[in-house]
Amino acid sequence: MRTMLVTGGNGFLGSRFIHELLTKYPAYQIVAIDHEAEDVPELLRPLLACKRYAFHRVDIRNNEAVEQVFEQYDISEVAHFAAKTHVGESMRNPGIFAETNVLGTFHVLDAARKHWMNGPFEPKPAYSGSRFLHISTDQVYGPRAEGFADETFKYDPISPYAASKASSDLMVSGFHESYGMDTVILQATNVFGPHQQNDKLIPIIMKKALSGSTIPVYSGGEDVHDWLYIDDFWRAADAVFHLGNAGETYLAAGTALKTIEIVERLCQTLDRHFPGNDSYLSRIRFVEPADGAKAPHRFAVSADKLHQQLEFTPETDVERGIQETVDWMLSKKRIWEVV
């Protein structure tokens, strides 16, 4: 039995990872930590009575608390999801992003180093196969006018959030190079799907549309992001953790689309569910961000390395992913809880 620490276990990505890992691999037990403990994700509620799952409220900025978890549970693997993620919030309060994403990542890495290693390139016998999976973002490469970034591109972050994640990536790589720790990095694009937080784009648009409000779209909807369905994210994380080469970074990507394209597809899906005299498309209004106008940014990346080395290809296209997300939100009146 291997004991894996999952940081950020109550988040959208972390909770799905936990649910799928425990389902697919009976040889794992999981200890999850998160600084948010009140709102237990729906996916994890059935696991509260599972003997292979434990949760503790821990803030990764507290190095002593992190080290205590390693000692108490004899942690042999790490999947590090915990991070502050909102670009806008990072511009308003950059300090907490540095504290959580950079210093917090260091605390988890250093606790793993102390627990697994006798010294540089000298793993303790019981931890010779221990691996540290770090979840990051495609935004570390910054926007580009054309083409697709890949893992060979220079980091060029344009927000405190992206800068903090770039710093955490480099910290992980530094521990691999300096201590010989087995680390892998998965940089994901915009992940969406059932169970996503209500403050993300698709839930926000659904709330606005179904409550009769106008649907605000910033910067003319011309921003481009890559969209990856949650099922495909899990498959990518599973592949990178179990099959990725130590010290490597992998990009997971789906489909690059303008924001307006996502909003329009969502409105068209709602039109099929709740047809009326007017399409939800008529409620779209183009507005400028609160901090002023900015040029549209294009974040587009290539997942060729993940495909070539680990034979990973997304299985869910954006159309189907949006449909399944809407279906889930409408089931059991979840959307009414949002509205």
In tens, the pLDDT along 117-171 reads: 999 999 999 999 999 999 999 999 999 989 999 999 999 999 999 999 999 999 9
Q: Please name the helix (run of DSSP H) or strand (run of DSSP E) that holds residue 292, with its range, or none.
A: none
Q: Which residues pair with 191 in a beta bridge?
A: 228
Query: Does pLDDT of 38 surpass 90?
Result: no
> For residue 129, is it within any domain?
yes
Give per-residue pLDDT as tens, 277-291. 789 999 999 988 766
Confidence label for 198 from pLDDT (cuts 50, 70 and 90): confident
> For residue 311, is it within any domain?
no
Close Cβ partners of 325 (under 8 Å, ≥ 6 residues apart): 192, 193, 194, 196, 202
Token pair listed for 292: 């002023």
Report how far apart, in Å, the C-alpha atoms of 240 and of each of 15, 19, 146, 154 are: 17, 17, 27, 21
Structural domain for 329, as ranges: 201-225+257-299+316-338
| Rounded-to-integer distance, Cα 335 and Cα 235, Å | 27
Close Cβ partners of 318 (under 8 Å, ≥ 6 residues apart): 227, 229, 254, 255, 257, 262, 265
For strands 117-119 and 122-123, give the pairing: antiparallel
Shared domain for 232 and 136, answered yes or no, is yes
Query: Does pLDDT of 223 surpass 80?
Result: yes
For the chain, the C-alpha Rg in angstroms (whole number) is: 20
Shared domain for 154 and 247, answered yes or no, is yes
Shared domain for 244 and 284, answered yes or no, is no
> For residue 137, is it within any domain?
yes
Shared domain for 144 and 171, answered yes or no, is yes
CB-count exposure of residue 40 (10 Å: 0-12, 13-18, 19+): middle
Shared domain for 143 and 242, answered yes or no, is yes
Shared domain for 28 and 154, answered yes or no, is yes
Report how far apart, in Å, the C-alpha atoms of 138 and of each of 81, 126, 228, 334 are: 15, 34, 12, 30
Q: Which residues pair with 132 in a beta bridge?
A: 78, 183
Give per-residue pLDDT as tens, 102-122. 999 999 999 999 999 999 999
> For residue 304, is it within any domain?
no
CA nearest neighbour of 161 among 139, 144, 143? 139
Token pair listed for 256: 């690059």
> For residue 58, is it within any domain?
yes
| Rounded-to-integer distance, Cα 231 and Cα 314, Å | 9
Shared domain for 40 and 185, answered yes or no, is yes
> For residue 306, is it within any domain?
no
CATH of the domain at 88: 3.40.50.720
**Phi, psi dihedrals of residue 185, rounded to the nearest 5°:** -120, 130
pLDDT score, position 335: 56
**Phi, psi dihedrals of residue 228, rounded to the nearest 5°:** -130, 125
CATH of the domain at 333: 3.90.25.10
pLDDT score, position 58: 98
Amino acid, single-letter form, for residue 158? I
Domain total in the chain: 2
Shared domain for 14 and 135, answered yes or no, is yes
> For residue 100, is it within any domain?
yes
Q: Are 179 and 222 in contact (CB under 8 A)?
A: no
| Rounded-to-integer distance, Cα 210 and Cα 204, Å | 10
Shared domain for 181 and 290, answered yes or no, is no
Close Cβ partners of 281 (under 8 Å, ≥ 6 residues apart): 264, 267, 268, 271
Shared domain for 153 and 64, answered yes or no, is yes
> For residue 114, is it within any domain?
yes
Shared domain for 11 and 79, answered yes or no, is yes
Shared domain for 28 and 88, answered yes or no, is yes
Query: Does pLDDT of 295 surpass 80?
Result: no
CA nearest neighbour of 244 among 306, 162, 163, 154? 306
pTM, whole model, 2 decimals? 0.94
Measured in whole angstroms, the distance separating CA 57 from the mean position of its chain's CA atoms is: 19
Q: Rounded mean pLDDT of 210-227?
A: 90
